[in-house]
């Protein structure tokens, strides 16, 4: 299932918010070019696990390296992305995205005391559960059991999932003061908002002619400041980020095998098929005409 973003970089999560507000994802990386997902955010919580490879989980401007067996809890409304760093095959990376209302209604004391307090804590954007930390073994077992329950869907699996997630939040609440906090400065917060505005502009206008000035104007900042923002969050220039996103979309269209190279080139903002082909080969190591495989 592809990552679908709205105009504010929020990911559209296709779970039914009334019936059972949780969605289980698996084998998503295999569908993503270079086994990397775009930066995005959503109001729901997220838990993901590295199963066999080494993953780079980007949270804001931070990069968390996850080895096989490690899991991460990502708070709501936190900018994040994922890239696989090693492994011969795409990591299955099981993960869940869920609303706090899975545990209790928003009007309840439980939600306000234990869920909302975590969701509104800007200094706790994520928590890493390392596989080799014996104090976290029960939490990692709960997470793995959630994946199994959502995959197998045995009788009463919803109750088991709800119970397991409640136990995870109980653990977070009881150990809240022990987790490392990340206090963002006012400047860091402002820069992230600027970056989100510029990235949103790229995601919406990549198929058109886009200049560095256009990207900077989306956040009402100078071109040099735009460059510093992108270097902080993506390690590249705004134009390089634009090209990367164009190539990701081009790769997706190529795999559909329903469009010509010229159609794909123009649809993704490349005015020249030759230039598109050169950029594609530079990125993926083979020409788009030989795009007969997914991933790397």
Give tens-digit pLDDT for 93-109: 999 999 999 999 999 99
Average pLDDT, the chain: 88
How many folded domains does the chain comprise? 2
Residues 15, 98 contacting (CB under 8 angstroms): yes
Tell whether 96 and 33 lie within a shared domain: yes
Stretch among 25-34, 177-186, 257-266 having the lowest mean pLDDT: 177-186
Residue 6 included in any domain: no
**Higher-confidence position of 234 and 48:** 48
Torsion sign, CA atoms 264, 245, 199, 30: positive
Which helix (H) or strand (E) segment is 97 a member of?
Answer: strand 95-98
pLDDT of residue 3: 44
Average pLDDT value for residue range 124-139:
96
Tell whether 239 and 286 lie within a shared domain: yes
Query: The domain containing residue 234 runs over which residues?
Result: 186-290
pLDDT of residue 239: 96
pLDDT of residue 13: 53
pLDDT of residue 250: 92
pLDDT tens digits along 187-233 = 677 888 899 899 989 999 999 999 999 999 999 999 999 999 999 89
Q: pTM value?
A: 0.77
Residue 5 included in any domain: no
Instruction: Tell me: pLDDT of 7 over 50.
Output: no
Average pLDDT value for residue range 139-168:
97
Tell whether 156 and 191 lie within a shared domain: no
Tell whether 142 and 194 lie within a shared domain: no
Residue 125 included in any domain: yes
Which helix (H) or strand (E) segment is 23 a member of?
Answer: strand 22-25
pLDDT of residue 82: 94
Instruction: Tell me: pLDDT of 9 over 50.
Output: no
Average pLDDT value for residue range 132-144:
97
Residues in Cβ contact with 169 at an 8 Å cutoff, skipping those fewer than 6 apart: 103, 114, 115, 118
Residue 102 included in any domain: yes
**Higher-confidence position of 24 and 248:** 24
Tell whether 123 and 267 lie within a shared domain: no
Residue where a domain stops, chosen among 143, 158, 178: 178
């Amino acid at each position: 299932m592809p990552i679908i973003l709205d105009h504010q970089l929020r990911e559209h999560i296709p779970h039914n918010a009334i019936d059972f507000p949780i969605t289980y994802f698996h084998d998503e990386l295999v569908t993503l070019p270079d086994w990397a997902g775009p930066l995005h955010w959503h109001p729901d919580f997220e838990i993901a696990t590295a199963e066999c490879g080494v993953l780079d989980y980007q949270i804001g401007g931070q990069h968390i390296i996850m080895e096989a067996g490690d899991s991460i809890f990502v708070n709501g409304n936190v900018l994040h992305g994922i890239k696989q760093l090693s492994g011969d095959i795409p990591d299955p990376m099981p993960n869940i995205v869920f609303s706090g209302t899975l545990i209790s209604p928003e009007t309840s004391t439980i939600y306000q005391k234990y869920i909302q307090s975590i969701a509104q804590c800007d200094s706790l954007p994520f928590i890493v559960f390392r596989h080799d930390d014996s104090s976290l073994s029960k939490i990692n077992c709960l997470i793995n059991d959630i994946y199994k329950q959502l995959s197998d869907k045995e009788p009463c699996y919803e109750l088991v999932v709800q119970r397991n997630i409640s136990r995870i939040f109980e653990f977070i609440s009881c150990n809240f003061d022990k987790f490392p906090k990340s206090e963002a400065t006012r400047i860091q917060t402002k820069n992230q908002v600027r970056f989100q505005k510029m990235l949103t502009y790229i995601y919406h206008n990549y198929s058109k002619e886009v200049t560095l000035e256009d990207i900077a104007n989306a956040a009402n900042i100078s071109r040099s400041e735009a460059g510093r923002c992108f270097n902080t969050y993506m390690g590249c220039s705004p134009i390089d980020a634009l090209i990367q996103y164009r190539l990701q979309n081009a790769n997706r269209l190529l795999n559909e095998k329903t469009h010509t190279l010229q159609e794909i080139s123009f649809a993704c903002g490349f005015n020249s098929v030759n230039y598109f082909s050169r950029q594609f080969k530079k990125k993926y190591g083979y020409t788009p005409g030989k795009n007969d495989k997914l991933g790397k």
